[in-house]
Chains A and B, each alone.
Chain A
Amino acid sequence: MKHLLSTDGLDPATAVAILDTADNLKRTLLGREVRKLPTLRGRTVVTMFYENSTRTRVSFEIAGKWMSADVINVSASGSSVGKGESLRDTALTLAAAGADCVIVRHPASGAAHRLADWLAEAGTSVVNAGDGMHEHPTQALLDAATLRERLGTLEGRRIAIVGDVLHSRVARSNVHLLHALGADVVLVAPPTLLPAGVRTWPVSVSHELDAELPAVDAVMLLRVQAERMTSGSGGGGGNFFPSAREYSIAYGLNDNRLRLMPEHAVVLHPGPMLRGMEIASAVADSPRAAITDQVRNGVHVRMAVLYHLLAHEEETA
């Protein structure tokens, strides 16, 4: 594997290999006082974040450091265009300076793909840490790791993804990966927050959360930015639903809805959560929620990704 740009087209064997590596790393590090492996000593990993992010950037940074890579954080504010250096020039500069891997988050869909094209000659690996509304593959991998942990397997499990699917890169990456790993996915959202052509995706679609809950093994909630969604001038023209209150009534996961779910079913959220909006506080803090597990697994999954990109190649070559 040279890059990790999307889960679309990621073959299931590779995905499972990354998840298995993450499990092994987690077990290896469990209970250790010094959580550091020498695997990527001498390798340089650069995180390049063109959007605000705390959890993802920190998770990648910790992952790199626990693997003994040198991790450098570059934060660029706003778009690259019209405000100085182009994305291409920044990437080529970092590669020329010796980066073995560039981890990029960018507001433009496809930015990671473009980087991979520009860096092909330099041989630098690219990890997509979220590009616009397109994909966030390591989030899907850490969600899969968490679900495997809680449910044993994903084969035949029914996962509901609830909320703003239209704008969500997390939803897209999860749809591809969960489907590849044999899960049944149901998207639950108002029609305005489902993308055109969703009927061609390997999922079922519902507008009735209550009807779906009794049959699910997990519910994955997506963040819904009400202020952007309800005003008439927001992204994409706004007016996706009438009010935060109405959204919460129809699609929010509250205590009553938690009781509709089977005993074993889990609640996931990629964060940051809007408590009281898409998820009630009591649900977020209940033992059914695997939200902190997701964060914990995120580090191991990202260690595994870096391992497969930067170390594994040489061993198998």
Chain B
Amino acid sequence: MTPLLFEGVRPYGEGSPVDVLVRDGVIAQIGADVEREGAEVVRGGGGVLLPGFVDLHTHLREPGREDTETIATGSAAAALGGYTAVFAMANTDPVADNAVVVEHVWRRGREVGLVDVHPVGAVTVGLRGERLAELGTMANSQAGVRVFSDDGHCVHDPLLMRRALEYSTSLDVVIAQHAEEPRLTVGAQAHEGARAARLGLQGWPAAAEESIVARDCLLAEHAGARLHVCHVSTAGTVDVLRWAKERGTRVSAEVTPHHLLLTDERLETYDPVNKVNPPLRAETDVAALREALASGVVDCVATDHAPHAVQDKDCEWSAARPGMLGLQTALSVVVETMVRTGLLDWRGVARVLSERPAEIAGLPDQGRPIAVGEPANLVLVDPDATWTVRGRELASVAGNTPFEGLELPGVVTATVLRGRVTAERGRIRA
């Protein structure tokens, strides 16, 4: 493999620009006069060098809905967004509730080779919430599943959730919960509050999330298990998480970029591009989520990247499917909401987009320090450049981005997976 030289980059956005040499997939030298002989040069222009991003929550839609996304197009979107590892949720068709499907996803990811694709296994058979899927078989398969989730559905039966948590302790895996008490969200369409009431959209109450998170924290604590909370969306959930962490519960949590930036004000047009589950919430929730991400109560950012076909979005609100694209816009939204506001520095960005998610999922070669001898999973960011989001220009098959037309800061200059450039200046390097 040709050595790779980052010329004039600032690791974590700190200090004066240095050169970083990558050889054989490993960081070989960092400093002023590194070996240049025969190396491919990536001009850094003083940009910020970070560990490659890790996304605990994507929907790559393969197998089943290749008309909206494939592992190839999703991997391209991930590489362009600065990611070196992504987790593909289990709600495919067929469901990833067995070793055959998870190994297929894992193998397709390897064939594409733009990003490490880790399949998430279903907690229950068919995501039906009735009986446990074969967690052990999936964990011990070639895919080595480490994260299990029924995402899209809540494992709402408290006994089943307790069993899943207990069982998971022998496998050293984490159960990621989509926290939504289904009896409280029958027919729900929008964040429960004054706006949804006026718009005639049935409310999705904050308590439907908070009550499940509180319950699951207690169950995890009693089981001595690890719990991960998907897409935290309310200020109340932040309070519950803080309380649980103070008690020593082994709980981690993620927030999506869209919940950091958008509010239910978006619903006024009834355009379902803004429909997502959990729903866009109030300004007070957004403020609490940003604060929680800065303080570490919420551990990381995960996109919940959810491509949908045109006909599933260009329709009336209640008929539309929930979800939005996220892989190529996540960094920019984090820069806009967390860096420009002074809530996070670039060390903090590395923490929430790379280090913590890698730790939560137990990935040994991701989210590592930028240091000699470490694996070269890296992303170079131009922090000052801005770009305008155009759904059609994104790498995903679908184009359902809620950020259409927004000018956002932070551009990925290059993404490097084990020493190989996967994306550079907006283009995929096959």
Given the interface pairs A132-B200, A169-B200, A236-B202, the reply to whether A86 lies near B317 with Cβ below 8 Å is: no
Given the interface pairs A108-B319, A110-B270, A237-B184, the reply to whether A134 lies near B314 with Cβ below 8 Å is: no
Report yes or no: A8 in contact with B198, Cβ–Cβ below 8 A.
yes
Which residues from A are CB-within-8-Å of B270? 109-110, 113-114
Which residues from B are CB-within-8-Å of A237? 183-184, 186-187
Decide if B195 is an interface residue (CB 8 Å cutoff): yes
Report yes or no: B197 in contact with A198, Cβ–Cβ below 8 A.
yes
Report yes or no: B315 in contact with A135, Cβ–Cβ below 8 A.
no
Q: Name the interface residues of A72-114: CB closer than 8 Å to any CB of B.
A: 79-81, 86-88, 106-111, 113-114
Q: Name the interface residues of B220-234: CB closer than 8 Å to any CB of A.
A: none
Q: How far is the CB of A5 from chain B (nearest CB, A)?
A: 10
Report yes or no: B200 in contact with A81, Cβ–Cβ below 8 A.
no
Report yes or no: A109 in contact with B201, Cβ–Cβ below 8 A.
yes
Decide if B32 is an interface residue (CB 8 Å cutoff): no
Decide if A195 is an interface residue (CB 8 Å cutoff): yes
With beta carbons under 8 angstroms apart, the residue of A79, A86, A131, A196 that contacts B196 is: A196
B side interface size, CB within 8 A: 28
Report the bound CA distance from A110 to B270 in whole Å. Answer: 6
Report yes or no: B311 in contact with A172, Cβ–Cβ below 8 A.
no
Report yes or no: A108 in contact with B203, Cβ–Cβ below 8 A.
no
Report yes or no: A109 in contact with B319, Cβ–Cβ below 8 A.
no
Report yes or no: A195 in contact with B184, Cβ–Cβ below 8 A.
no
Report the bound CA distance from A235 to B315 in whole Å. Answer: 22
Report yes or no: A172 in contact with B198, Cβ–Cβ below 8 A.
yes
Report yes or no: B199 in contact with A110, Cβ–Cβ below 8 A.
yes
Decide if A31 is an interface residue (CB 8 Å cutoff): no
Report yes or no: B194 in contact with A107, Cβ–Cβ below 8 A.
no
Decide if A197 is an interface residue (CB 8 Å cutoff): yes
- Which single residue of chain B is at the shortest CB-CB distance from A135? B200
Report yes or no: B319 in contact with A79, Cβ–Cβ below 8 A.
yes
Q: Which of A86, A198, A237 has its CB near the most chain B CB atoms (within 10 A)?
A: A237
Report yes or no: A195 in contact with B197, Cβ–Cβ below 8 A.
yes
Q: How far is the CB of A189 from chain B (nearest CB, A)?
A: 13
Report yes or no: A110 in contact with B200, Cβ–Cβ below 8 A.
yes
Report the bound CA distance from A106 to B318 in whole Å. Answer: 11
Report yes or no: A108 in contact with B186, Cβ–Cβ below 8 A.
no
Report the bound CA distance from A110 to B318 in whole Å. Answer: 9
Report yes or no: B311 in contact with A86, Cβ–Cβ below 8 A.
yes
Given the interface pairs A80-B319, A134-B199, A236-B186, the reply to whether A113 lies near B314 with Cβ below 8 Å is: no
Q: List 22 A-B contacts (CB under 8 A).
A: A80-B315, A88-B314, A106-B316, A108-B316, A108-B319, A110-B199, A110-B200, A110-B201, A114-B317, A132-B200, A132-B201, A133-B202, A134-B199, A196-B193, A196-B203, A197-B194, A197-B195, A201-B194, A201-B198, A235-B187, A236-B202, A237-B183
List the interface of chain B (C-beta within 8 A of A).
183-184, 186-187, 189, 192-203, 205, 269-271, 311, 314-319
The list of the 9 closest CB pairs from A to B, nearest first, reads A197-B194, A134-B200, A110-B270, A195-B197, A109-B200, A133-B200, A108-B316, A81-B319, A108-B318
List the interface of chain A (C-beta within 8 A of B).
8, 79-81, 86-88, 106-111, 113-114, 117, 131-135, 169, 172, 195-198, 200-201, 235-237
